[in-house]
């Protein structure tokens, strides 16, 4: 039974992935997040499975270290790292952007991913095996107006995925990526607009992906035979043709 660590496990894609992987009974899960109450609730929901929760902020490298060092013996070998935690804040022209928003996106989407990848890949190098899956975005493939810094962070994820794969290939470590378009059943939009439900209501005139659609894609990637590495999957709903072109004729 493999052990998979999922960051940002308390909502959206991370939550759906945790539930799906648990349901297969093929994985022990290390579920990470900043909100302890949400982690505890998820642990209760998955109480029939082998689950360990870690409450910390991936923006802080020391917290990442301490969290991983606290793992019990039966969870110390990490076979799969799913770098899911990420967020967007604001939708502003560059000269009107918030420095606080920029720093939070950079610290979470880039530095947080790097923190976890550095620590867990070191374990995988020693094991001579492992699989890292980074959650990117269509925003990491195609920029859009007012997306500036968020798009830049996801372009960074795309570049890091490629470079990590080259750095780790000689250690029998697979590195993959999923780049979803619009996904509902997540906190993405409500977080981006800081709780403004009116602004966050962006899916009413088309049918986006659901979190489970992305989770199933992740499961497909990590369940391939050991000699197969799915390097990159770009996935959108049928009504989304690009980062900016969406058929908004209704659901």
Active-site residue list: 150, 154
Beta strands in 155-237 (DSSP E): 173-180, 183-184, 209-210, 233-235
Checking DSSP bridges between strand 51-55 and strand 80-83, what pairing results, if any?
unpaired
Rounded Cα gap, residues 218 and 179, in angstroms = 11
Count, in order, helices (H) and strands (E) of the chain: 9, 9
Instruction: Give φ, ψ of 37 to 5 degrees.
Output: -60, -40
d(C-alpha 206, C-alpha 21), whole Å: 28
Angstrom distance (rounded) from CA 136 to CA 179: 4
The DSSP letter of residue 142 is S
Q: What is the signed CA dihedral for 90, 140, 173, 64, rounded to 10 degrees?
A: -10
> Bridge-partner residues for 43, per DSSP?
none
C-alpha distances in angstroms, 33 versus 10, 39, 91, 174, 221? 6, 7, 25, 24, 23
Strand-pair category, 27-33 with 233-235: unpaired
């Amino acid at each position: 039974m493999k052990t998979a660590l999922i960051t940002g496990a308390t909502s959206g894609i991370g939550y759906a992935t945790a539930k799906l992987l648990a349901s297969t009974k093929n994985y022990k899960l290390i579920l990470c997040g900043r909100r302890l109450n949400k982690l505890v609730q998820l642990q209760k929901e998955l109480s029939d499975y082998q689950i360990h929760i870690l409450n910390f902020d991936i923006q802080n490298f020391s917290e990442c270290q301490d969290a991983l060092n606290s793992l019990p013996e039966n969870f110390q070998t990490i076979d799969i790292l799913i770098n899911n935690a990420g967020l967007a804040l604001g939708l502003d022209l560059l000269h009107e952007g918030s420095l606080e928003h920029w720093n939070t996106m950079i610290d979470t989407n880039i530095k947080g991913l790097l923190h976890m990848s550095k620590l867990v890949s070191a374990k995988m190098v020693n094991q001579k095996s492992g699989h890292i899956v980074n959650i990117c975005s269509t925003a990491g493939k195609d920029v859009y107006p007012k997306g500036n810094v968020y798009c830049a962070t996801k372009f960074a994820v795309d570049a890091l995925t490629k470079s990590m794969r080259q750095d780790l290939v000689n250690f029998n470590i697979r590195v993959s990526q999923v780049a979803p378009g619009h996904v509902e059943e997540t906190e993405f939009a409500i977080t981006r607009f800081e709780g403004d439900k009116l602004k966050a209501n962006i899916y009413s005139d088309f049918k986006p992906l659901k979190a489970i659609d992305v989770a199933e894609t992740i499961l497909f990637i990590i369940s391939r035979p050991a000699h197969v590495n799915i390097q990159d999957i770009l996935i959108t709903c049928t009504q989304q043709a690009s980062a900016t072109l969406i058929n908004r004729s209704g659901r």
